[in-house]
Amino acid sequence: MIQKFYQRLWAIAGAVSVRTKILGIVLGFIVLLGAGVIIQSRYALTATMTEQLEEQSVSVSRDLAARAADPILLNDLLSLHDLLNETLANNPNVRYAFIVDPRGQVIAQTFEGGFPLDLLAMNSTHADEHHHTVLIQTDEGLVWDTAVPILDGKIGTARIGLSDASMQLALSKLTVQLLLTIILVSATGVLVAVFLTWILTRPILALVAATQAVAKGDFTPRVPRWADDEIGDLATAFNAMTEELAHTEELRREREGLRRQLMEKVIATQEDERRRIARELHDSTSQNLTSLIVGLRMMEAQCAHCASPTKAADLREVASHTLEEVHDLSMRLRPRVLDDLGLAAALERLAHEWQARYKIPVDVVIELEDRLPGEIETALYRIVQEALTNIARHAQAKSASILIEKRGGFVRAIVEDDGIGFDPSAQRGERHLGLLGMRERAELLGGTLIIESMPEHGASVFIEIPLLHPATFNLQPVTAP
Ligand SMILES: Nc1ncnc2c1ncn2[C@@H]1O[C@H](COP(=O)(O)OP(=O)(O)O)[C@@H](O)[C@H]1O
Ligand SMILES: [Mg+2]
């Protein structure tokens, strides 16, 4: 319960800015202090003034009683009146005064608009009493009504009413003064708090801005060390951290660049090597095999009478078969047609052979007018080759399709199948180098490779490679034959 309340409070108070928090705390304390001081001082003032007023009321009425005895005995009503008026005039707090005879009749009074009769019953005194004071609530506030017997009550009672208006006035004056002081102190407090929060939050705001920049990958901002305190230490630590981050980032970039270069080199070397071996196989090995076949045929013909014509024929069969295999190997290593006739022709041939081998119909659409930069042609050829190999090995597809087109500054390729599909996000790790290699080739040329696939819904590989990428832009165009 308490925890919930605390949580809710913190949800509201915690959400405001530091500036508002500090201002709130300062103002809250000032207001609390002010309220306490006002209540305390009003209480103390009320207590002392009440005592004083009571004492005054007793002394004034006793004085009146003493001085009233003579005029009453002499039955001098005029003097009695004067006495009452004088009492009123001398004591501004006294609201009224009157004399009652022993039978309860008012013989002199100071009320201007007639005597309020119910006042009579509100206070009385006994002969042996020194005085008797009651507190009466009137329209004008509280009144201390004191009754004092005159000559032990034998000739009457003197009564006066002392109002607390002066006390109320003093109280409200005090309150107003205190309130003014509080407002003044609050204003000063707010100013001080604003200044303090400015000093305190300025470096924090700078830190926040710098941190946000760092979060976005910008490691250049440094925060100034405003003061030699904890926040200053934080700023220094932050700067050290950003420097370290920037350094690490630089190293990472350098390594990434090196890795890229290495990768490019490896791929280029691999292609060169393949090209060289393919050419070797074609030019030298195939030629040799062809000579062998021709030789064997001649041997067969010349040796019509010898015992081993069938042997020669068998050997020729083996040689022809090997020649075919060498041809095939050379093709797969690096089709000469890719260098000689370009991507379109090479892919048509690849698709044709693939279809024949795996008995899966493949639809090829290639919309390219000119030849592409050599690296792009090689990359696309290898990517499509790997995609087709995957379809044959994993997809169990009924058909496949290849689309290559040039659009804007990009060349796009899509290889699709209608097979069992797979989850591309799950294919990570060392075992699946095929997809990784495809992506690597595309990215080395500044392009992207996206695989879309859902189980039972086939797979599509989208490749997009910019034609004017720094990696390809300086390449010599492959001269058409
Ligand atoms: N066209 C496809 N249809 C279904 N599954 C595929 C397809 N292409 C790739 N895969 C799945 O993705 C995995 C990773 O492919 P790849 O990286 O080429 O590795 P590998 O072919 O050596 O297994 C494959 O093992 C296969 O499960
Ligand atoms: Mg594969």
Chosen domain end from 141, 176, 211: 176
Q: Are strands 400-407 and 362-367 parallel, antiparallel or unpaired?
A: parallel
Q: Are strands 141-150 and 156-163 parallel, antiparallel or unpaired?
A: antiparallel
Chosen domain end from 176, 205, 229: 176
Predicted confidence (pLDDT) per residue in 97-109, tens digit:
999 998 888 989 9
Q: How far is the CA of 394 from the centre of ligand 1 (A)?
A: 6
CB neighbour list of residue 419: distance below 8 Å, 6 or more residues apart? 391, 394, 395, 396, 397, 398, 458, 459
Q: Tell me what pLDDT residue 478 has.
A: 46
Please tell me the residue having the least CA distance from ligand 1 atom 22. 432
Predicted confidence (pLDDT) per residue in 2-60, tens digit:
899 999 888 888 888 888 888 888 888 888 998 999 999 989 988 998 888 889 888 99
- The angle subtended at Cα 437 by Cα 433 and Cα 441, nearest 5°, is 175
Predicted confidence (pLDDT) per residue in 274-296, tens digit:
889 988 888 888 889 889 888 88
* Contact between residue 398 and residue 360 where contact means Cβ atoms under 8 Å apart: yes
Instruction: Look at residue 223 and tell me if it is in a domain.
Output: no
Q: How far is the CA of 442 from the centre of ligand 1 (A)?
A: 17
Instruction: Look at residue 377 and tell me if it is in a domain.
Output: yes
CB neighbour list of residue 54: distance below 8 Å, 6 or more residues apart? 133, 144
Question: Would you place residue 428 in the very low, low, confident or very high pLDDT band (cuts 50, 70, 90)?
Answer: low
Ligand located closest to 436 CA? 1
Please tell me the residue having the least CA distance from ligand 1 atom 12. 427
Check whether 144 has a pLDDT greater than 60.
yes
Please tell me the residue having the least CA distance from ligand 1 atom 8. 390
If one residue of 394, 415, 416, 436 were mutated to test the ligand 1 pocket, choosing by the most ligand atoms within 8 A of its CB, it would be 394
Instruction: Look at residue 245 and tell me if it is in a domain.
Output: no
Per-residue tokens: 398: 């009924």
Terminal CA-CA length for the chain: 86
Q: How far is the CA of 478 from the centre of ligand 2 (A)?
A: 29
Question: Would you place residue 481 in the very low, low, confident or very high pLDDT band (cuts 50, 70, 90)?
Answer: very low
Residues within 6 Å of ligand 1 by CB: 390-391, 393-395, 417, 419-422, 427, 432-435, 459
Check whether 334 has a pLDDT greater than 90.
no
* Radius of gyration of the CA atoms of the chain, in A: 56
If one residue of 384, 388, 427, 463 were mutated to test the ligand 1 pocket, choosing by the most ligand atoms within 8 A of its CB, it would be 427
Q: How far is the CA of 415 from the centre of ligand 2 (A)?
A: 14
Whole-angstrom Cα distance, residue 262 to residue 254?
A: 12
- Residue at token pair 């045929």: 297
Instruction: Look at residue 355 and tell me if it is in a domain.
Output: yes
Predicted confidence (pLDDT) per residue in 436-469, tens digit:
889 999 999 999 999 999 888 899 999 999 998 6
* Contact between residue 339 and residue 372 where contact means Cβ atoms under 8 Å apart: no
Instruction: Look at residue 33 and tell me if it is in a domain.
Output: yes
Predicted confidence (pLDDT) per residue in 222-241, tens digit:
888 888 888 889 899 999 99
Q: Tell me what pLDDT residue 125 has.
A: 82
For residue 21, the surrounding DSSP H or E stretch is helix 18-73
Query: Taking every pair of C-alpha atoms in the chain, what is the biggest distance, in angstroms?
Result: 192
Q: Tell me what pLDDT residue 475 has.
A: 47
CA-420 nearest atom, ligand 1: 4
φ, ψ for residue 163, nearest 5 deg? -90, 160
Please report, for residues 405, 414, 449, 451, 468, the alpha-carbon distance to residue 463 in angstroms, rounded to integers and kept in the order given: 11, 6, 5, 9, 16
Q: At how many degrees (to 10) do helices 18-73 and 165-215 cross?
A: 180
Instruction: Look at residue 260 and tell me if it is in a domain.
Output: no
Whole-angstrom Cα distance, residue 335 to residue 347?
A: 10
pLDDT, greater one: 304 or 138 = 138
Whole-angstrom Cα distance, residue 279 to residue 277?
A: 5
Please tell me the residue having the least CA distance from ligand 1 atom 1. 391
Q: What is the CATH number of the domain that holds 448?
A: 3.30.565.10
Alpha-carbon 167 to chain mean position: 58
Predicted confidence (pLDDT) per residue in 159-195, tens digit:
999 988 888 888 899 889 999 998 998 899 889 888 8
Whole-angstrom Cα distance, residue 472 to residue 441?
A: 12
Looking at the DSSP assignment, which residues form a beta bridge with residue 132? 147
Q: Tell me what pLDDT residue 307 has.
A: 64
Which DSSP string do the residues of 103-165 spell out, in sequence order?
TS-EEEE--TT---GGGGGG----TT-S-EEEEEEETTEEEEEEEEEETTTTSEEEEEEEESH
* Contact between residue 398 and residue 417 where contact means Cβ atoms under 8 Å apart: no
Instruction: Look at residue 207 and tell me if it is in a domain.
Output: no
Q: At how many degrees (to 10) do helices 230-280 and 165-215 cross?
A: 20
Give the range of the structural domain holding residue 464, as residue numbers without chain letter: 342-481
Question: Would you place residue 305 in the very low, low, confident or very high pLDDT band (cuts 50, 70, 90)?
Answer: low
CB neighbour list of residue 93: distance below 8 Å, 6 or more residues apart? 53, 56, 162, 163, 165, 166
Number of compact structural domains in the chain: 2
Whole-angstrom Cα distance, residue 268 to residue 261?
A: 10
If one residue of 390, 401, 402, 427 were mutated to test the ligand 1 pocket, choosing by the most ligand atoms within 8 A of its CB, it would be 390
Count Cβ atoms below 10 Å from residue 458 Cβ, excluding itself: 21
Whole-angstrom Cα distance, residue 60 to residue 54?
A: 10
Chosen domain end from 176, 192, 209: 176
Whole-angstrom Cα distance, residue 235 to residue 432?
A: 46
* Contact between residue 469 and residue 445 where contact means Cβ atoms under 8 Å apart: yes
* Closest-CA residue to 222 (of 191, 201, 192, 244): 244
Q: What is the CATH number of the domain that holds 33?
A: 3.30.450.20
Instruction: Look at residue 30 and tell me if it is in a domain.
Output: yes
Report the residue count for the chain: 481
